[in-house]
Amino acid sequence: MATRIAVIGGGIVGLATARALHGLVPDAEIVVFEKDSTVGTGQTGHNSGVVHSGIYYRPGTLKARLCVDGARRMRAYCEDRDLPRRTVGKVVVAVTEEELPGLEELGRRGAANGVEDVELLDREGLRRVEPAVRGIAALYLPGAMIVDFRMVCVAIARELDAAGVDVRVGAPVEFVQETADGVLVGLAEGTERFDVAVNCAGLYADRVAGSDPHGPRIVPFRGEYYALRPGAAARIAGMVYPVPDPRFPFLGVHLTPTIDGGVEAGPNAVLAFAREGYRRTDVDVHELWWTLSFPGFRRLAAEQWRSGLAELRRSFSAKAFAAELARLLPWVTPRDLRRTRSGVRAQAVGPDGALLDDFVVSERGMIVDVISAPSPAATAAFAIADHLAGMVTGRMTAIGGDDS
Ligand SMILES: Cc1cc2nc3c(=O)[nH]c(=O)nc-3n(C[C@H](O)[C@H](O)[C@H](O)COP(=O)(O)OP(=O)(O)OC[C@H]3O[C@@H](n4cnc5c(N)ncnc54)[C@H](O)[C@@H]3O)c2cc1C
């Protein structure tokens, strides 16, 4: 009998993992369970679409390696299949002298991580690349690209389908549990047995993993975007990022061109009152209670209430958002901005209130739980997938279940 593998979550990590598993164990019966009626609807379908180059991450870390390798493969995947993409370039801009050491550190990290094609620009250099952006120095990555990660998901799902992998949409998984008889996946219509399972449920990954009172939990943070009105958008050539604040795992409000030729500003980061709380009015009492009752969240709130309030103010007021953006674009006014879409980030928070910015993967018997796959997980999906598929096949070999 063929080995049966369940992948929970039809986001970019789940789909890429199913693809990698099919490559490693072509005879296995693989089922991808996606709760929604189509793939790529979670974080993957609501992100900035940036293929990150790998300058942010500490050299030698898994995140750095997976990002650089993954970015190269993501670009190649989109080019080979002619998926929507644009090479728009990127500047990371220091506005003050105090930000220069942070900018130089990013340059060093990029070089150590093997990121090619990075240039350090002075004020004049920045003016040549982005005349409308204020700054005293910048790192310039002319080859930086944006893609449509949702379309990447659709493409992978089609390939999986053609290869005989069962991508089941409209199939919410209630639990995944190891038993003496194998791994049981709980569905509305009953349970299904598998030999091994990978939980890539994004915003719901901790719930699917079952509640470990000592483990991290997912706290949903909504990231809201504004669209620049056409006159303002025409003044921006490519991606424009601030030097990130090392205290937070977020990259700061930035400007990103979109595939259809617009420019978006955002995202901020405000607590969402539901895991899929894309609107400020979306509240799920049960999910909100799960967040508020978590000691890790209460510690985080006690420590970061000041920055939380500032984010909230920017969420409600275009004027406050424009004021933040004016650090980089001194000419911008609220009239240049139009509120547009939002995404929700699955932020892993430790029981001590720490914001975890690395990948969090845990194992329980024959189940691999991807508790947190934060940015740049969309960029790095193919590299993360190889890593996860290696873990899965490693477990199968350990029990002699690999029939390939
Ligand atoms: C606002 C924002 C901007 C970002 N910008 C970037 C960027 O520019 N570049 C980048 O590389 N990364 C970016 N990221 C991060 C990136 O989007 C994520 O790291 C990545 O999409 C994670 O993919 P995933 O497959 O793990 O999760 P998801 O895309 O969330 O997929 C999880 C899937 O599991 C499904 N699911 C959940 N529960 C169940 C269940 N019980 N049963 C069945 N299915 C279930 C969901 O419906 C969903 O489809 C951004 C994230 C956000 C929120």
For 174-200, what is each residue's pLDDT tens digit?
Answer: 999 999 989 999 999 999 999 999 999
Q: Is residue 9 within 6 Å of ligand 1 at its C-beta?
A: yes
Model pLDDT for residues 33-83, shown as the tens digit of each residue: 999 999 999 999 999 999 999 999 999 888 999 999 999 999 999 999 999
For the Cβ of 17 lying below 6 angstroms from any atom of ligand 1, the answer is no
The burial class, CB within 10 Å (0-12 / 13-18 / 19+), for 61 is middle
Atom 50, ligand 1: residue with shortest CA distance: 47
CA 9 / ligand 1 centre spacing (Å): 9
Q: How confident is the model at residue 253 (pLDDT cuts 50, 70, 90)?
A: confident
Q: Can you name the residues that pair with 362 across neighbouring β-strands? A: 369
List phi, psi (to 5°) of 196. -155, 155
Q: How far, in Å, is the centroid of ligand 1 from the Cα of 202?
A: 5
Whether 70 lines ligand 1, by a CB cut-off of 6 Å, is: no
Tell me what pLDDT residue 41 has.
97
pLDDT at 402 (0 to 100):
46
Q: State whether the beta carbon of 12 lies less than 6 angstroms from ligand 1.
A: yes
Closest CA to 92 of 137, 147, 146, 145: 137
Q: What is the predicted pLDDT for the residue at 249? A: 66
Cα separation, 192 vs 367, in Å, equals 14
Please indicate whether residue 34, judged by its CB atom, sits closer than 6 Å to ligand 1. yes
Residues above pLDDT 70, as percent of the chain: 98
How many angstroms separate the alpha carbon of residue 165 from the centre of ligand 1?
Answer: 21
Higher-pLDDT residue of 267, 167: 167
Q: How far apart are CA 221 and CA 296, in angstroms?
A: 15
In this structure, the chain runs to a length of 404
Nearest CA to ligand 1 atom 37: 201
Q: Among 48, 62, 50, which residue's Cα sits nearest to residue 390?
A: 62
Give the whole-angstrom CA distance, residue 152 versus residue 155.
5
Cis amide linkage into residue 267, ω under 30° from 0? yes
C-beta of 199 in contact with ligand 1 (< 6 A) = no
Quick one: which atom of ligand 1 is closest to the CA of 267? 1
Position 291 scores a pLDDT of 93
Average predicted confidence (pLDDT) for the chain: 93
Q: What is the pTM of this model?
A: 0.95
The answer to whether residues 347 and 355 touch, using CB atoms and an 8 Å cutoff, is yes
Ligand 1 atom, smallest distance to 50 CA: 8
